[in-house]
């Protein structure tokens, strides 16, 4: 399959960075990176949003549009 399987817009918060993830190993790494940058005093404020892969959220149109992971675009 190519492209999204359903229409679903992503939420967008007030911070410069948006983290769309689940508590998978790679998702946790991204959150840790943001927290470490903040601890160093860097401008890395972010909003975190759940992408539930058990419900297929990774195939929604909004997520497919922004993800760098080709698997989500099959």
| Contact in structure between 34 and 19 (CB atoms under 8 Å) | yes
pLDDT band at 3 (very low <50, low <70, confident <90, very high): confident
User: Which residue ranges form the domains of the chain, and what is each CATH number?
Assistant: 17-69 (3.40.30.10)
pLDDT value at 73 more than 70: no
Rounded Cα–Cα distance for residues 60 and 4 (Å):
5
pLDDT in tens, 54-65: 999 999 999 999
Model pLDDT for residues 4-62, shown as the tens digit of each residue: 999 999 999 999 999 999 989 988 999 999 999 999 999 999 999 999 999 999 999 99
Alpha-carbon distance of 66 to 54, in angstroms, equals 19
């Amino acid at each position: 399959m190519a492209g999204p399987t359903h229409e679903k817009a992503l939420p967008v918060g007030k911070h410069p960075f948006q983290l769309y993830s689940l508590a998978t190993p790679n998702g946790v790494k991204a959150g840790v990176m943001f927290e470490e940058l903040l601890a160093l005093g860097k401008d890395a404020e972010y909003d975190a949003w759940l992408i539930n892969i058990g419900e297929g959220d990774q195939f929604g149109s909004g997520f497919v549009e922004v993800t760098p992971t080709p698997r989500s675009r099959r």
